[in-house]
Structure 1
């Protein structure tokens, strides 16, 4: 097909009527990259789980296992940059003089990715002038290991990867009074964020616990999706 035909196909595919679509772009490459409407995160479910099925119940052995402490969950985390922060023991609420046999030790497991929007097929005029919605979604297990088990921090970055144009942070507190053990959704829509966005920095942290054996908080179906729509305020 001709360049004009590829451009028209892109316009029809994503309903981009009214969005800037310069003739200088290689519209065939844009069409094949499918930058709009797909998940731009790599490896969104490292634990091999899906939000459409309940999270697995923790396996409790008949006898406690003994061995070196574990602070990082198992999984294939390719595509993610990971780090672990082991937290000090929480001794609050323990009466003075009480005999302590063992305390749970918690750790934060951090996973992050940086999405290069232009490398994924988006173009500067679309990001700067049209400013399509950038939709963030994540699902984490209500493990009830602690009152704080999940944190999310997403930033829209400029071309230098250090200028923060917009950001969104979530740090919920869990209700430990009722056991539910379900998936909990976290989502946010960036719109009207202004010109200059070139990268999305996606970071979330999940809390784990070690007490004779390892218990983790898992996540699944993380996503960063650019939708070919904008709000009236954009």
Structure 2
């Protein structure tokens, strides 16, 4: 049997990482003998697909004939796959537009930033500014809402900023997938002051194109803390959406300093920074 592979924006070897393809693509026409050979009740075929690796269902099974493609593209298949693998909706009132895309986004969902909790010193971070007595790493002064977090990065009396550049294709989100589906990109960061010293915190996150030019930017106003504060942890979040085609990188930059110019490390503390590629129902 000779297979005819159709032009599919997420189907080439280089572009299969997400496993999700536009469901409007047509499948190869099946001859009478082919249809007879692969004719299986739909409920049986769906159960078979549910027991195969998800990437094989998309990359191989849906190319066999029109019937197989119909099942491989069906909402019921991917909704049941999500149920079996525990990819539950955080809010049952929000239903995914595409259960297959939701499945693969959940399957790959993770923090794309490396070493966000200072567990491996400054590995994977690029130091942009290292003022005062420079960046350092300390244990927490007050407990973090996430009990597993035990360390934070600390700034000094001169401006301290650090950055990471995330290559989305290297992380498995190829250009065709990003351009076609434009999944939400959620960023978050935790920051806290010392109780006895005023300080400031700033963050800038940019979506960049192939030439590393900004497509969208999140750059809120600098946050200032007064001396004698409660030194509690604060979280900032932002969701990029409807950003258009062309996004290939995410650049995350944050930092700050103490505002009283005290020697040592009395500036803002940061930890558990995060970048996630998400379904619209998860943000």
More helix by share: 2
Of residues 4, 14, 17 in structure 1, which corresponds to 2:98? 17
1:119-134 correspondence runs (5 A) = 119-134=170-185
Displacement of 1:41 after TM fit? 0.4
Moved over 4 A (4+): 10-16
**What are the equivalent positions in structure 2 for 1:1-234 lying under 5 Å apart?**
4-5=56-57, 12=81, 17=98, 36-46=108-118, 48=119, 76-86=121-131, 106-143=157-194, 145-147=197-199, 149-161=200-212, 163-176=213-226, 179-208=229-258, 211-229=262-280
Separation in 1, partners of 2:186, 2:127: 23
TM-score (norm 1): 0.62
Q: Identify, as 1 or 2, the structure richer in strand.
A: 1
In structure 2, the CA distance between the partners of 1:226 and 1:217, relative to structure 1 (3 Å rule), is same
Per-residue deviation, 1:205: 1.4
Structure 1 residues not aligned, in runs of 5+: 21-30, 49-74, 88-104
Number of matched pairs: 176
Aligned to 2:140: none
Which is higher, the Rg of structure 1 or of structure 2?
2
Deviations 1:44-82 (A, max 9, x none): 111x5xxxxxxxxxxxxxxxxxxxxxxxxxx70101001
Contact 2:187–2:275 (8 Å) recurs in 1: yes
User: How far apart, in 1, do the equivalents of 2:157 and 2:224 lie?
Assistant: 16
Gaps of 5+ in 2: 1-51, 60-71, 88-95, 133-155
Cα deviations by residue, 1:139-187 (Å, 9 ceiling, x for unpaired): 011236335x1110110000111x2110000233335276210111111
Structure 1 position 210, deviation (Å): 5.2
3-state DSSP class of the match of 1:106?
coil
